[in-house]
Structure 1
């Protein structure tokens, strides 16, 4: 079933709150620009459920409104991009530039205004907890020097995330630079195709990309 079906179920006043909660989870599964868990953390934080979104129907509806508003912006962006690509193909440019695709390939919160700082803090906090529980590659997968570099990289990414959260999502230039540096460092370890370290490093990259996006300078909301 599609996003619209689940959205209607969230709004179904005759449905049990638990079913409406499950429908919202499914809607997030259909549209999750930050990844499922980070998007869920974002919309539920912005909805500010009291005390628990599973039993707070007004908060479920607020979260759905936040999700739908962002999705409508992405749909408009996608339609505009498709129109531009049709014109470019007619002019002979068959392949889009990498920069043209970047906005669709990295975590971001599409919207008509700056994303919610509260929402981004919640998303980063959720993924930071997940990141800290990820396994570390053992010596059989990396030479000693490479393992040390990986450990340093993991520590730097964790420190950047901790500083971002300690600042309640209002990072200074040093934190932004640390987040961007960690992302570049992870990219240096990533190899095209299959590589044993990719199984460890790519999940780190997803978190680093989210953190780098959240740490970008923008108006506080």
Structure 2
């Protein structure tokens, strides 16, 4: 089934609330711009005042409206990208511009207005808790000169997330720079054909 079928089920007041809740989770499974868990945390935080979407039909509908609004913006972005790429290909440019790639593939919350700070903080907190449960990188898998790299990257990511959460979503310049550098280092380690 598709996103719109699940959305209809969430709106169907004849269905039991538990089934409507499950349908919303399935809709999030179909469209999750931040990843499933982070998107769910974002929707739960922005659909307040109820702390539990399972017991509040109005909060379920608010969460669905937020998700549908984001999805509509995303579909418009994809359509605009397709039109632009068609014109660029006709003009001889076969490779997309570098600026387009992160916007089309990276985790972000597409929205006509600025995304909810509370929702984004909830999404980051959700992912940070999951990150802290991951096993710490095992240095024995690497050669001596590479053993410290994964541990450093792990610590830097943890530090950036902690700073973001401590400052309630405000990122200072040093943290932003540290995060950008950490992401570049991670990407250099996981590029295809590279196996330290």
Q: Is the TM-score greater than 0.5? A: yes
Can you list the C-alpha shifts for 1:115-158, whole angstroms capped at 9, x where unaligned? 11111100100000111111234244212332212212211110
Native 8 Å contact 2:43 2:66 kept in 1: yes
| Match of residue 103 from structure 2 | 103
Q: How does 1:40-55 map to 2 (within 5 A)?
A: 40-55=40-55
Runs (4+) off by over 3 Å: none
* Corresponding residue number in structure 1 for 2:90: 90
Query: Are the counterparts in 2 of residues 2 and 30 from structure 1 also a CA contact under 8 Å?
Result: yes
Counterpart-to-counterpart distance in 2, 1:171 and 1:96: 30
2:185 counterpart residue number: 185
CA distance in 1, matches of 2:96, 2:139: 41
Aligned to 1:34: 34
For 1:187 and 1:93, locate their aligned partners in 2 and report how far apart those are by CA, in whole Å: 26
Match of 2:141 in 1: 141
Distance in 2 between residues matched to 1:161 and 1:85, nearest whole Å: 35
**Paired residues of 2:46 and 2:63 also in contact (CA < 8 A):** yes
Report the counterpart of residue 166 of structure 2 in structure 1.
166
Partner of 2:176: 176
Shift of 1:191: 2.9
CA distance in 2 between counterparts of 1:194 and 1:148 reads 17
Count of matched residue pairs: 196
Aligned to 2:62: 62
Cα separation, 1, equivalents of 2:132 and 2:37:
15
The aligned runs of 1:192-207 (5 Å cut-off) are 192-193=192-193, 195=195
Gapped runs of 5+ residues in structure 2?
none
- Could you say if the C-alpha distance between residues 157 and 139 of structure 1 is closer, same or farther in structure 2, counting changes exceeding 3 Å? closer
Deviation at 1:194, TM superposition (A): 7.2
1:193 deviates by: 4.4
Partner secondary structure for residue 60 of structure 1: helix
- TM-score under structure 1 length normalisation: 0.83
Normalised by the length of structure 2, the TM-score is 0.93
Mark the runs of 5 or more structure 1 residues left unpaired by the alignment.
Answer: 198-221
What is the CA RMSD across the aligned residues, in angstroms?
Answer: 1.6
